[in-house]
Structure 1
Amino acid sequence: MKRQILASFAIGTLSATLAIFALQPISQETPANAANSETYRQLNLFGDVFERVRADYVEETDDASLIDNAINGMLSSLDPHSSYLNPKNYRDMQVQTRGEFGGLGIEVTMENGLVKVVTPIDETPASEAGVRPNDLITHLDDEPIMGMSLSEAVEKMRGPVGTSIKLSIIREGRDEPFDISITRDKITIKSVRYRREGDIGYIRVTTFNEQTSSGLDEAVTALQKEIGANLKGYIIDLRNNPGGLLDQAISVSDAFLEQGEIVSTRGRHSEDTQRYNSRSGDMTGGRPVVVLVNGGSASASEIVAGALQDHRRATVIGTRSFGKGSVQTIIPLGSDGAIRLTTARYYTPSGRSIQAKGIDPDLIVRQETEEEKNRRVTGEASLRGHLTSEEGEEKEASGSSSYVPANKEDDTQLLYAIDLLNGKKPSAQAAANKQAKSNAGVEQGTAN
């Protein structure tokens, strides 16, 4: 039996998985804190309650559903990212990591009993219909979400390709809820896109699935061939990238590093610590790299940004990332699905924990518009029941904007990165942001 380790936004999805996975054998050792007699007394209490519900509830109950919900309740009470996956949810999750599946194309989590949109995936029905990060979904085809589990809500949003569903949405900045109808489609996630920006290679990574490492190799090779000796550097755009597979995050980081640690994970016990190191040479030949992040950049994105920042291999530009720094392990339960359990925190090469803090850019550059102010992602620290920062709640940080303009001409962060690699003086607004960062300690980015 194998288990899969997730080190990203381990939440229910309708598109690319928010998890980071690596396969390892499950330990068969007895836990050090094996259950004592009081624990078994409590388990007997659960059995008594279960039988009372079966016998006396006003309507006939389904035993399997009661047990599934009890297991999920136990796990979801731990933190926002632990949960139970029934057999169908587990199969769906495995399909998602391959980057092709049916659905709407949105990453979602649960907040105060409602489904909260983390981000719509580029070029999917949800994105094209105008769904935005931070939207709260209250009803599905007029059925209230309050009272559903995240898995149940996700299941209702899935359906045959070509069928439609109505989402009722509450959006900050609008006085009244409104409806959006979306037609389900086959979601094929092209995780890497690239283009030439003058003598600069622009590479957009939307998620970390099984195709990401090969997609990055293709992008770098194509840009080197197209631009040739005039190539000045690369922009790696991780904005609104919610995470993905651990081995892919490591491979992407490794592509820009000659040597050194990329990320480490630390569990409850010292023997649970694992370190992942760079193994191959820098495929870009040491050319300058800029990494773009924002409030929608989570976990795998934060691993890449943190590794390149700590090794001084890249300049990180944008706004503070989400702060998802815990590791979830998918533990299969045979024919009964799997559990998703938080088992560790992950750390950047310098030993920084990102949990509930995020990655602070080297250069804070905002999209100074009213639209940006309405697109702020509140971050891991705002999630109910989140793992606190090891430095205490007072050291935790809120999120930042997830707004990325549709037009390049309006994208202050991208234009700043292009100017930086071209050796030009930044725009007036970007320069003002940089000065504000240097003057305000709370805004100070980390330049390790």
Structure 2
Amino acid sequence: MNVVRYSRIAYNCSRLTFLPSYVYEPFSCNGLAVVKGGTVSNMIIYTPFNNRNITLTLNFLRSKRFVSTQFSLSLLSCALLLCFLSNLSGQQSTPKQSTQIGVTVTDDAKTIAEESVGDEEIYDLLKLFVDTLDQIDRNYVKDVNRRELVDAAIEGMLKKLDRHSNYIPPSNIDRFKQAIENVFGGIGIQTVLNQGNIEIVTPISGSPAYAAGIRPGDLIRKINDESTAGMQLSDVAARLKGKIGTSVNLTIESPKYNETKQLTVERQLIEIESVYGAARNNDDSWNLMIDQENRIGYLLITNFGRKTSAELLGALQQLKEKDVQGLIIDLRYNPGGLLTAAIEICDMFIPAGRIVSTEGRSVPKRVWDAKAEGTFDGFPIAILVNQFSASASEIVSACLQDHDRAVVVGQRSYGKGSVQNIIQLEGGRSALKLTTAGYLRPSGKNIDRPNAQNDDDWGVKPNDNLVAEFTVEQNRLLRLWRRDLNIVLNGATHDPFVDKEYIGFHDAQLHIAKNYLYEALDLPLAEAPTVAERGTKRGNRRGPMRNRESSNEDASK
């Protein structure tokens, strides 16, 4: 048998490279041995610290100086994991799996050698990790869950990086995808936990729950004949969401109507709106004008998902048809989302020039510039931000501010100037959210604030004379009013909620934004109101939920 001894191992992203010297007896080096025979060969990966073998079949091509074998990350992980799990289960060292892989050949020995020098440490650390897991599994005083240990180890690694990098385990991956896609399988309701009762905040307009006649203030008493007494919102969400086309049986109590009814609701694909208007119309559609007389539009963006730019485009087209004269874009409490969505939205408002650029250690610098087609112009814009506006919200507000397309009103934003890539693991069952780059606003500044002081130049600052800082109590009342904004009455004849705690609250930030637009349009300035403004004939339809735990969706994000 002709045996190849691989004296160096390079593990670089998606490539595992072996540099051989030739011997004529089986030999393991650094934990790996490869036994070659013939043009098509079996490669036996042997791990001495586990005393296990795994056989891989490959097409083997020779060069005069060395052989370079290309692996995918998933194949390498699979091989090492199979070796380890085989040891844990006490099986004998017999080959369990064979996988076809391709072999590439290169004559650039120096390049591969240089790559291998620093990466031997990775293999040593991987061996340390496997040894540690093995020792814990075999010797710890109590039984352990290997999956939980691995998940905790990965989470620990990510915590050593930055506060925006994190691990998304299988238990959270569906919820994470729903937050990005703004879609899920369910019945379409928003709920709160109110004194032990599962209370409906609102059905989502057009959802199965809406079609079934579920109304704000209704209580869910049973789900599939199981009482909801003692359930948490997460328990309710787990029972309401499910495969599209399946059904769920509900017992619904309507205290305001003194009735209890049994409903069978079919789960459908629920699409969550990320762009709101000023208030709901009587037919539960959005009114996009906050000032009908002066044609001032108002668009609130809750997050930047895959469909956000399309939603915003539709709203802008409606406003254009109504001859909008000024626009308020509310990004307060918007945590961000997809970079692509932010870029697409910026491109709607500027005809040319830089939108944003990114640069990082392992990724090339990228720039995005605006295109002239489809620009919405001819009217002034005021963007509302606060200390909870982050990431994609800051990209949009910074871009439009730097191009003098909009003014920024409110408080300085959060200061998140980094970009995270979503890297799938386990075929999409889990993922890494990893910081790979920082972004620069058109002016060339990075708005990130790690370790920054208050007087440092981070975040997106409001324009001069357009600053209005809210106290903790003011922010609480504003959140209550905004929660009211999305309520659909769904045919109800009266408002079931009467504890309007925010009556008398004055949204000074919104007031400043409106007056900026009035001044730009040579209109009389508005006096400060004494109640929360709605800008529609319906007024305040829905009171806040005092001391209630809330869930945004039946498959909450």
| TM-score, normalization by structure 2 | 0.49
Shift of 1:370: 6.4
Higher helix share: 1
Q: Report the Cα distance in structure 2 between the residues aligned to 1:43 and 1:190, rounded to whole angstroms.
A: 44
Task: Give the structure 1 partner of residue 312 of structure 2.
Answer: 216
**Residue equivalent to 1:410:** 506
Residues 409, 83 of structure 1: CA spacing in aligned structure 2 closer, same or farther, 3 A cutoff?
closer
Classify 1:100/1:365 alpha carbon distance in 2 versus 1 (closer, same or farther; 3 Å): same
Q: 1:161 to 1:415 in 2, by over 3 A?
A: same
The one of 468, 472, 476 aligned to 1:366: 468
Counterpart-to-counterpart distance in 1, 2:467 and 2:353: 29
Aligned counterparts, 1:26-45, within 5 A: 35-45=118-128
Seen in structure 2, the aligned counterparts of structure 1 residues 320 and 369 have a Cα distance that, compared at 3 Å, is closer
Structure 2: distance between partners of 1:68 and 1:367: 41
Which of 75, 82, 86 is the matching residue for 2:158?
Answer: 75
* Counterpart code for 1:159: A
Change (3 A) 1:372 1:262: same
Q: Secondary structure at the match of 1:410?
A: coil
CA distance in 2, matches of 1:219, 1:342: 32
Measured in 1, the distance between the counterparts of 2:156 and 2:235 equals 19
CA contact (8 A) 1:408 1:414 kept: no
Query: Which AA in structure 1 matches 2:468?
Result: R
- Structure label with greater radius of gyration: 2
Matching of residue 257 in structure 1 with residue 358 in structure 2 = no
Indicate if the aligned counterparts of 1:256 and 1:286 stay in contact, CA closer than 8 A.
no
Map of 1:159 onto structure 2: 238
Alpha-carbon offset, residue 371 of structure 1: 1.4
Deviations 1:85-114 (A, max 9, x none): 2345334422332212369989xxxxxxxx
Q: Is residue 66 from structure 1 mapped to residue 134 from structure 2 by the alignment?
A: no
Alignment partners' CA distance in 2, 1:73 and 1:333:
17
- The Cα offsets for residues 247-290 of structure 1, whole Å up to 9 and x where unpaired, read as 21111111111011111111115x62111111134532331111
Aligned: 1:192 with 2:275: yes
- Correspondence 1:349 to 2:428: no
Tell me: higher relative CO, structure 1 or 2? Use CA pairs within 8 A at least 6 residues apart.
1
Contact 1:365/1:412 (<8 A) preserved: no
CA distance in 2, matches of 1:154, 1:338: 25
Change (3 A) 1:418 1:32: farther
Secondary structure at the aligned position of 1:236 is classed as: strand
The AA in structure 2 aligned to 1:211 is: K
User: 1:370-415 CA distances to partner (integer Å, 9 max, x unpaired)?
Assistant: 61377999xxxxxxxxxxxxxxxxxxxxxxxxxxx96797211111
Structure 1 residues 281 and 408: CA distance shift in structure 2, 3 A: farther
Counterpart Cα distance in 1 of 2:503 and 2:355: 33
CA distance in 1, matches of 2:528, 2:319: 30
Q: Give yes or no for contact 1:259–1:281 (8 Å, CA) kept in 2.
A: no
Shift of residue 213 of structure 1?
Answer: 1.4
Render the CA deviation track for 1:220-261: whole Å, top value 9, x for unaligned. Answer: 1212223x3xx3211111111111222211111111110111
Alignment CA distance shift 1:368-1:84 (3 Å): closer
1:84 corresponds to 2:167? yes
- Note the C-alpha offset of 1:366: 2.0
Q: Is the 8 A contact 2:189 2:202 kept in 1?
A: no
CA distance in 2, matches of 1:72, 1:411: 40
| Alpha carbons 2:182, 2:273 under 8 Å: kept | yes
User: Does structure 1 retain, via aligned residues, the 8 Å contact 2:511–2:528?
Assistant: no
CA contact (8 A) 2:356 2:368 kept: yes
Q: How far, CA to CA, are the matches of 1:369 and 1:339 in structure 2?
A: 36
Q: 1:422 and 2:518 equivalent? A: yes
The counterpart of 2:419, out of the listed 322, 327, 333, is: 327
1:260-279 correspondence to structure 2 within 5 Å: 260-269=353-362, 272-279=364-371
Instruction: Write the distance in 1 (CA, Å) between the matches of 2:168 and 2:472.
Output: 40
TM-score, length-scaled by structure 1? 0.60
Q: Matched residues, percent identical?
A: 37
Which segment is superposed worse, 356-365 or 97-106?
A: 97-106
Q: Give the whole-Å Cα distance in 2 for the aligned partners of 1:376 and 1:49.
A: 50
Tell whether the 8 Å contact from 1:104 to 1:187 is kept in structure 2 after alignment: no
Q: Which runs of 5+ in 2 are unaligned?
A: 1-72, 74-110, 192-200, 205-215, 218-228, 242-247, 249-268, 278-287, 450-457, 480-500, 530-557
Which residue type is aligned with residue 360 of structure 1?
A: K
2:331 corresponds, among 231, 238, 255, to 238
Alignment of 1:307-322 (within 5 A): 307-322=399-414
Shift of 1:154: 11
Secondary structure of the corresponding residue to residue 346 of structure 2: helix
The 8 Å contact of residues 257 and 282 in structure 1, kept in 2 or not, is answered as: no
* Structure 1: gaps (5+ residues): 1-25, 107-121, 130-140, 143-152, 164-185, 378-404, 430-448
* Matched position secondary structure for 1:203: strand
Question: Partners in 2 of 1:65 and 1:293 — Cα distance?
Answer: 39
In the alignment of these two chains, the number of paired residues is 313
Kindly provide the amino acid, as one letter, of the partner of residue 460 in structure 2: I
Helix, strand or coil at the partner of 1:362:
coil
SS in 2 for 1:413: helix
Q: d(CA) in 2 for partners of 1:322 and 1:257?
A: 24
Q: What is the Cα deviation at residue 311 of structure 1?
A: 0.7
Q: Does 1:285 align with 2:377?
A: yes
Q: Structure 2 CA distance, aligned partners of 1:157 and 1:40?
A: 45
In the alignment, the residues of structure 1 paired with residue 126 and residue 431 of structure 2 have an alpha-carbon distance, to the nearest angstrom, of: 21
- How many Å apart are 1:351 and its aligned residue? 0.9
Partners of 2:234 and 2:140 in 1: CA distance: 26
C-alpha distance in structure 1 between counterparts of 2:202 and 2:392, whole Å: 21
Question: What CA distance in whole angstroms lies between the structure 2 residues aligned with 1:343 and 1:235?
Answer: 33
Deviation, 1:419, is 1.4
